[in-house]
Amino acid sequence: MTVSTFPFSLSELQQQFPELRQGSFVMLGAAAFWLDVVGTIKSLVLVAPADDQRLSRFQGEQHEFKSRYALKFAPTNHANARALRDTLPWLKPDLLGLNTSAGTGDRVGLATPGHVRAFRHVLRDAPGSTLLPIFAQQSIREMRRTNRTPDDVMTDATWGAFEAGWRGKLGADADHLKTPADIDACVAAGFSFYTIDPGDYVNTTADEASPTAVEAQVAALPWKDLETTQADVEKNYGGRKVKLESRSITFDEAVVLKAAAKYGGAIAHIAMMYRHLASKGIPFELEVSVDETETPTTQAEHIFVVSELKRLGVHWVSLAPRYIGRFEKSADYIGDLAAFEQDFAIHAEIARALGPYKLSIHTGSDKFSIYAITMQQTRGLVHLKTAGTSYLEALRTITAIDPAFFRDIYVFAREHYETDRASYLLSASLDHAPLPESVKDTDLPALLNQFDAREILHATFGSVLTARGADGRLRFYDHLMALLRANPEAYASNLEAHFVRHLEPFVTRGRIYMDWQEILRVR
């Protein structure tokens, strides 16, 4: 650890810089860094010896300070975020391994301070917990809908974590990547965790197809890319029995062919994406996601997918099958909880037997009824992924500040819901959502708790954030961001309260799990 030789005290600096954000203050060797806020304008401030090379890493205005020290005001842009990650190593995304982890997506770029507060809150009461955060997380689809880039996502999370004084390990999730170009953009931005989404190649028609149709689908698979043959797959899996902790899973010919027909194309795509990512020569972690499909992943299909990926040399840290039940956006789990636990427990056994790797919970926002189940059954080998719920907390924040503006957003969201819902699994109905004119200003926050209104507001985030009026100006975005920037404490407080509920089930109190080294020992 670097010993600080910085000659000025925090209190001394605060007298000269009253807007210094104390939580961000860092002394590193002979230099100090902090975030300064004037109104809603944030700047990085660096004080260091005039000949300190770190001064040249940052863009900005440099001035003489005192005692042969220099002072630099640096804007919170992409280049300076990169320089800050290189200078303060804990802000650089790292590999999280098999530790319990949670991702907190941020569609407006201002949520990270609230996310940090929530992690601190739950970890304060659980010393020794393995729970680690991913603050930078957004899918390529969401970036396109919000006109953001991978650099935007990384930069916003970097400044948010710095402002809030996060000092622990963190990751950065390039989510739901579908093409090599997606990978390239996220590698350039510095992500550490890459979620491959082969959903376009999952053939769910195999679930209901006739045996003859399944055989035709198997014959049409890209066998060259799979580096095997249909005959070898049938030979390797026919009659195979995989022994788990509570049962054995047996493959017969029909099970093998259906699994191959359904997931063969996806497996080939994952292997191609993995090799492209590996060719970049960077440290990374991979997540495989087959959750955004119409039908659940059976236990046998789970085994088939991971066995084939291992055969192809793919290494991953977490996997997101399509679980039974309904995982709708920003709503609790819909389905039979007992059936979910029974099914999920077997998936967790497979992950321990054929891994170990974490099971990932996608569309994980607000699934409060299943969090304890997933933590218990995986014994801590679990990753939670949330996104849209932070946007909804932004809307909750503005209901108290500018109810008329929120009402306008709700009217607009209702008008665009039927179009925007097309890419989501949603059951909200306009008929069941309260009419805007029927809701008093004082009751507007309750719309964020009403099932149909909540899903409508979630699904339309992209349209709201990019909508333009007749004059060509952004209709909602600028005012929404201005309100959130002017009221950072309100937004962070709402996020903290909301995410404490998400994270508490994932901190380890007592002996409900084994760490991954112990799992390897007992295997």
Is the Cβ–Cβ distance between 183 and 177 less than 8 Å? yes
CA pair distance 380, 375, nearest whole angstrom: 5
CA distances from 271 to 6, 286, 360 (A): 50, 11, 19
Residues 6+ apart with CB under 8 A from 477: 464, 465, 466, 467
Residues 6+ apart with CB under 8 A from 485: 40, 110
Phi, psi of 425 (to 5 degrees): -90, 100
Tokens 């909200």: give the residue.
428
Q: The tokens of 314 are what? A: 């793919």
CA pair distance 131, 91, nearest whole angstrom: 17
Q: Let me know the angle formed at the C-alpha of 329 by 399 and 489, rounded to the nearest 5 degrees.
A: 35
Indicate the DSSP class of residue 20: B
Is the Cβ–Cβ distance between 472 and 450 less than 8 Å? no
Q: The tokens of 482 are what? A: 């201005």
CA pair distance 424, 408, nearest whole angstrom: 23
Residues forming a β-bridge with 20: 36
Q: What single string gives the DSSP state of each residue in 53-97?
A: GGGGGS-SEEEE-STTEEEEEEESSHHHHHHHHHHSGGGS----T
- The overall longest dimension of the chain from CA atoms, in Å, is 83
CA distances from 165 to 91, 124, 302, 366, 498 (A): 10, 15, 40, 26, 20
DSSP E strand boundaries for 169-221: 171-177, 193-196
Tokens 């700047």: give the residue.
43
Phi, psi of 303 (to 5 degrees): -60, -45
Is the Cβ–Cβ distance between 207 and 169 less than 8 Å? no
Is 282 strand, coil or helix?
coil
Closest CA to 497 of 402, 419, 338, 390: 390
CA pair distance 16, 18, nearest whole angstrom: 6
CA pair distance 233, 255, nearest whole angstrom: 12
Q: How many CB atoms lie within 10 A of CB 390?
A: 25
Positions marked catalytic: 175, 287
Closest CA to 358 of 12, 93, 101: 101
